[in-house]
């Protein structure tokens, strides 16, 4: 059997010694806690079904295609640890397991994690046996109807409906083993400083304390070393400024990536080595515009929700990840809103490589934020998502919440928005953020709105007066909204379009926004008129069209769910590539 998703899952944090555990696992559905009580966690009991990991059981690629609610699922597989790894720490990594995972190795509990979108690792050194067959058991509990866990666009009903789609349960990203020394690099943080031609790197060290030195080398695109820098490691944190003489900026037009080699060593030799990459770029907001590397950058984004017909949340291949980016770029989009899902690291890697600007978002739907446990789940998992993805140059802004509606007198919701805003800016002071996309704003760096008006004349009128005056009272808002006052931030229409089109008009489940166009020519004309209303407005800094491709019953994509174009990509590209008024001069001067 060909190993599914064989590539290293973390090209931004890659070691030489690793072992992919994807492939066929044993599987069963359990109820409550009876699995532990009946000895399922011992690793000695076989399960009756087979599943292809990392595809979720709801997907066709898993071999099961089971769409029912599964509150508790169990996985089991046997594995061996290379004898060459003797004397080293053995880490067991999970890219993502939805939602609450407990892990046993050879019957010993080695890990527990809550969060369906973020990675976790278990140190199984004490449990693994070299030269012998080892058992691995995973139990995943999942209830997207509880209100206590983020689930994004996963349907809380048995069937998909509206903009809610097939659920995902259990393992849905790669599982792998990794060998590290007793002291190792646990993680690192990059802060690019383009103006001073350097990047500031902070290493987090794990394992046993000791006297070490940390070495960082910058490599060019061909792998040649441009310079190396060392520091003593006095504790668990090491900060090293890396000079990059003649720094080459990363941008969509020139997505230049530097290689990065990180080493931890002592007189005894190298203890750990990690390979990564980085891009030098900066993002600033000025005069109502978004500046990338000091130049106005109009965001021409498209909504991407990360769904696949045969894999649901999990791309069937790395090529499928890259292809979605290339399909969007073929239509003239320079990036995407990665909507209601934390996308896997290899997607972000290709966005880095291809110069594709993306928003770092979260699947916060499903959370009842009136519940204290739901608020804590949100803050905890959002923090993990930030820490995983901070180093990717492709991410241009953060958006933790989507379409949250509450009254300004709702002290709990207001406090949560402020808390998450403050946390995000402390963890990453280099990027702007939108607090809650489209609806109730509390504290936001970019002021965005959602507008699915289908009549181009009405749509243009929503923003025309604001384009002339820049006055807060003239900015279109969601009717009846309780937004914070507009105070001159860049304005983004972060959801628009969504125009309904499907060749087969007999599908009763098919839906989109507004009245279905009568022809493809009318569909293209509507897209052009809506989009040009934003490109030609001197005070609109960004847009995001809904959406890149159809998903199940939601048929408002520019491509079908199978990624076939509905319209000529060159025609869309011509529309999107027109100069934006906002790129020409500061918004404060535009329209005067």
Domain count, the chain: 3
CA 318 to chain centre: 15
> Residue 251 and residue 291: Cα distance in Å, rounded?
11
Question: 481-484: long-range contacts (C-beta < 8 A, 24 or more apart)?
Answer: 481/405, 481/439, 481/440, 482/406, 482/407, 482/408, 482/440, 483/439, 483/440, 483/441, 484/408, 484/441, 484/442, 484/443, 484/444
CA 588 to chain centre: 33
> Residue 147 and residue 163: Cα distance in Å, rounded?
18
413: left (phi over 0), alpha (psi -120 to 50) or beta: alpha
Let me know if residue 264 belongs to a domain: yes
CATH number of the domain residue 447 falls in: 3.20.20.80
Q: Is the peptide bond between 210 and the residue preceding it cis, with omega within 30 degrees of 0?
A: no
Q: How far is CA 64 from CA 29, 59, 165, 314, 562, in A?
A: 12, 7, 18, 14, 21
How many beta carbons lie within 10 A of that of residue 80, not counting itself? 14
Maximum distance among all alpha carbons in the chain?
76
CATH number of the domain residue 250 falls in: 2.60.40.10
- The helix-helix angle for 520-535 and 456-469 (nearest 10°) equals 10
Res 592: pLDDT: 39
- The helix-helix angle for 411-427 and 372-389 (nearest 10°) equals 20
Let me know if residue 2 belongs to a domain: no
Looking at the fold, whether 407 and 526 belong to one and the same domain comes out as yes
Judge residue 411's burial from the number of C-beta atoms within 10 Å of its C-beta, 0-12 exposed, 13-18 middle, 19 or more buried.
Answer: exposed
Let me know if residue 592 belongs to a domain: no
| Pair 229, 242: CB distance under 8 Å | yes
Beta strand 23-30 with 18-20: parallel, antiparallel or unpaired? unpaired
Let me know if residue 1 belongs to a domain: no
CATH number of the domain residue 108 falls in: 2.60.120.260
Let me know if residue 147 belongs to a domain: yes
Let me know if residue 127 belongs to a domain: yes
Residue 345: which of 400, 414, 378, 391 has the closest Cα?
391
| Pair 553, 160: CB distance under 8 Å | yes
Residue 165: which of 337, 363, 452 has the closest Cα?
363
Residue 338: which of 179, 163, 548 has the closest Cα?
548
3-class secondary structure, 14: strand
In the numeric block, which tokens belong to residue 150?
Answer: 């983020």
Looking at the fold, whether 337 and 242 belong to one and the same domain comes out as no
What is the helix (H) or strand (E) element at residue 278, kind and residue range?
strand 269-278
In the numeric block, which tokens belong to residue 71?
Answer: 């509150």
Res 472: pLDDT: 92
Looking at the fold, whether 433 and 550 belong to one and the same domain comes out as yes
The structure's pTM equals 0.95
Cα pseudo-dihedral 144, 562, 575, 332, rounded to 10: 80
> Residue 108 and residue 124: Cα distance in Å, rounded?
9
Q: Which residues are within 8 A (CB) of 415 and not within 5 positions of it... i.e. 6 or more apart?
A: none
> Residue 331 and residue 528: Cα distance in Å, rounded?
13
Which of 180, 215, 233 is the C-terminal boundary of a domain?
Answer: 180
> Residue 436 and residue 438: Cα distance in Å, rounded?
6
Strands, DSSP E only, in 31-152?
A: 49-53, 72-79, 89-94, 97-98, 100-105, 108-114, 120-123, 134-141
Res 509: pLDDT: 77
Looking at the fold, whether 400 and 504 belong to one and the same domain comes out as yes
Looking at the fold, whether 273 and 311 belong to one and the same domain comes out as no
Let me know if residue 588 belongs to a domain: no
> Residue 252 and residue 414: Cα distance in Å, rounded?
36
> Residue 558 and residue 300: Cα distance in Å, rounded?
14
Looking at the fold, whether 355 and 503 belong to one and the same domain comes out as yes
> Residue 366 and residue 153: Cα distance in Å, rounded?
8
> Residue 235 and residue 194: Cα distance in Å, rounded?
29
Looking at the fold, whether 508 and 410 belong to one and the same domain comes out as yes
Res 209: pLDDT: 67
| Pair 4, 21: CB distance under 8 Å | no
How many beta carbons lie within 10 A of that of residue 2, not counting itself? 5
| CA terminus-to-terminus distance, the chain | 66
Which of 278, 299, 329 is the C-terminal boundary of a domain?
Answer: 278
Residue 364 lies in domain: 283-583
> Residue 495 and residue 545: Cα distance in Å, rounded?
6
Looking at the fold, whether 321 and 228 belong to one and the same domain comes out as no
Looking at the fold, whether 243 and 301 belong to one and the same domain comes out as no
> Residue 121 and residue 177: Cα distance in Å, rounded?
9
| Pair 6, 20: CB distance under 8 Å | yes
| Pair 283, 191: CB distance under 8 Å | no
Looking at the fold, whether 520 and 544 belong to one and the same domain comes out as yes
Looking at the fold, whether 299 and 444 belong to one and the same domain comes out as yes
Which of 180, 210, 245 is the C-terminal boundary of a domain?
Answer: 180
Res 505: pLDDT: 57
Let me know if residue 5 belongs to a domain: no
DSSP 434-483: -SEESS--SS-SSEEEEE----HHHHHHHHHHHHHH--GGGS---TT--P
Looking at the fold, whether 517 and 540 belong to one and the same domain comes out as yes
3-class secondary structure, 35: helix
What is the helix (H) or strand (E) element at residue 388, kind and residue range?
helix 372-389
**Positions in the chain whose pLDDT score sits under 70:** 32-33, 209, 479-481, 505-508, 585-592
386: left (phi over 0), alpha (psi -120 to 50) or beta: alpha
Handedness of CA 425, 428, 430, 436 (dihedral sign): negative
């Amino acid at each position: 059997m060909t190993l599914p998703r064989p590539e290293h899952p973390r090209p931004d944090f890659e070691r030489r010694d690793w072992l992919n555990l994807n492939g066929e696992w044993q599987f069963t559905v359990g109820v409550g806690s009876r699995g532990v009580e009946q000895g399922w966690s011992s690793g000695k009991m076989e399960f009756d079904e087979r599943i292809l990991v990392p595809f979720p059981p709801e997907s066709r690629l898993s071999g099961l295609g089971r769409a029912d609610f599964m509150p508790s699922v169990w996985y089991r597989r046997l594995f061996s640890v290379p004898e060459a790894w003797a004397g080293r720490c053995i880490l067991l990594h999970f890219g993502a397991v939805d939602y609450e995972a407990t892990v046993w190795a050879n019957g010993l509990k080695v890990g527990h994690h809550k969060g369906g979108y973020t990675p976790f690792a278990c140190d199984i050194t004490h449990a693994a046996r070299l030269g012998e067959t080892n058992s691995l058991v995973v139990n995943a509990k999942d209830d997207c109807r509880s209100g206590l866990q983020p689930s994004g666009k996963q349907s809380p009903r048995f069937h998909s409906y509206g903009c809610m789609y097939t659920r995902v349960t259990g393992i849905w990203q790669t599982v792998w083993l990794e060998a590290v020394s007793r002291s190792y690099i646990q993680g690192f943080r990059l802060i690019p400083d383009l103006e001073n031609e350097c990047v500031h790197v902070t290493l987090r060290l794990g394992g046993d304390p000791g006297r070490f030195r940390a070495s960082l080398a910058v490599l060019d695109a061909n792998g040649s070393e441009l310079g190396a820098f060392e520091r003593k490691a006095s504790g668990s944190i090491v900060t090293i400024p890396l000079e990059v003489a003649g720094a080459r900026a990363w941008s969509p037009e020139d997505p230049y990536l530097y290689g990065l080699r990180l080493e931890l060593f002592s007189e005894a030799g190298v203890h750990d080595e990690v390979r990564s990459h980085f891009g030098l770029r900066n993002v600033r907001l000025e005069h109502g515009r978004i500046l990338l590397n000091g130049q106005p950058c109009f965001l021409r984004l498209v909504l991407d929700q990360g769904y696949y017909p045969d894999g649901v949340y999990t791309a069937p291949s790395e090529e499928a990840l890259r292809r979605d980016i290339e399909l969007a770029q073929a239509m003239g989009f320079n990036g995407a809103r990665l909507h209601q899902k934390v996308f896997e690291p290899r997607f972000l890697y290709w966005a880095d490589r291809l110069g594709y600007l993306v928003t770092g978002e979260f699947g916060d739907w499903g959370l009842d934020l009136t519940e204290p446990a739901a608020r804590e789940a949100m803050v905890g998992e959002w923090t993990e998502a930030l820490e995983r993805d901070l180093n990717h140059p492709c991410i241009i802004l953060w958006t933790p919440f989507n379409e949250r509606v509450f009254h300004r007198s709702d002290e709990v919701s207001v406090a949560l928005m402020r808390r998450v805003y403050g946390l995000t800016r402390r963890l990453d002071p280099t990027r702007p953020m939108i607090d809650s996309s489209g609806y109730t704003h509390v504290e936001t760096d970019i002021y965005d709105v959602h507008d699915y008006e289908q009549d181009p004349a009405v749509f243009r009128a929503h923003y025309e007066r604001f384009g002339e005056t820049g006055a807060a009272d003239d900015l279109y808002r969601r009717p009846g909204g309780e937004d914070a006052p507009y105070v001159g931030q860049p304005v983004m229409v972060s959801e628009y379009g969504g125009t309904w089109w499907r060749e087969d008009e007999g599908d009763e489940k098919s839906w989109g926004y507004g009245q279905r166009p009568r022809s493809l020519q009318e569909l293209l004309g509507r897209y052009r008129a809506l989009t040009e209303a934003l490109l030609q407005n001197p005070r609109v800094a960004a847009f995001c069209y809904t959406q890149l491709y159809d998903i199940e019953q939601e048929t408002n994509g520019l491509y079908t769910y199978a990624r076939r174009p509905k319209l000529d990509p060159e025609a869309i590209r011509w529309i999107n590539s027109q100069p934006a008024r906002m790129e020409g001069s500061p918004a404060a001067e535009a329209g005067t």
